[in-house]
Chains A and B, each alone.
Chain A
């Protein structure tokens, strides 16, 4: 069980590193595509950190909503203001 859980964490960690590199190295030319890719990558990484690294899967729903809400609001604010500059 330990090695299975360790493998899951390792997989998520490697995927997060790949997502980070993918957004930076395969940077789309168009800012809207870049913004969508950056928003998606940050959202996925944030959700995985909250759910699996922070182990919030079994936490009270209100606390989960605070964390996911914070993530969605902040990353959307950052992305939308970048798109606004077009």
Chain B
């Protein structure tokens, strides 16, 4: 009867509880970066407006689509694992592939900006832009590796279903956290300008 829309049990935390301390700490760090970005934008509106115009909306849209699709695949994989018990590894590999689309798009965006003379030290806006997005980029890379390791482990392991589900939910929670951060970064960088 379990489904992503109706989990059984009361007060159930998906994945390992220790992971949630880490995820909350990660969200706090990203929250501080976003708060810093917003505060400096108030003080330097012209610089931020000029900087934002240099970013390509299409890159932001591709990144958003890739991460949302990855999240959908991860959630579907966890759902399949819960109901069928196997055959879900391909969803985690596919989600990792979506992460690769994000990586390629982001690297190409960095390359274009760098060739136009913009770098981490260009001004405060690009300092924030490169630092925050690169920090997020590293999280996507880590998420991709986690999903690949999870998929391979699920194919090989003889562990019981509960252990498999716990591992899958933990990896999924990390991936969704990365997606959640991007949901906020996307309008900040590509829409509100």
Which A residues form the contact surface with B (CB < 8 A)? 1-2, 4-6, 8-10, 12-13, 16-17, 20-21, 23-24, 27, 31, 34-35, 38-39, 41-42, 45-46, 49-50, 52-60, 63, 66-67, 70-71, 73-75, 77-82, 84-85
Asked if B69 CB lies within 8 Å of chain A CBs, one says: yes
Q: What total count of A-B pairs have CB within 8 Å? A: 160
Q: Judging by beta carbons under 8 Å apart, are A42 and B184 in contact?
A: yes
Q: How far is the CB of B164 from chain A (nearest CB, A)?
A: 16
Q: Which residues of B come within 8 Å of A, CB atoms?
A: 1, 3-14, 20, 24, 27, 30-31, 34-35, 37-39, 41-42, 45, 48-49, 57, 60-61, 64-65, 68-69, 71-72, 74-76, 78-80, 83-84, 169, 172-173, 176-177, 179-180, 183-184, 186-188, 190-193
Q: Describe B's contact surface by its main secondary structure.
A: helix
Listed residue (A55, A67, A73, A80) with the most chain B CB atoms within 10 angstroms of its CB: A55
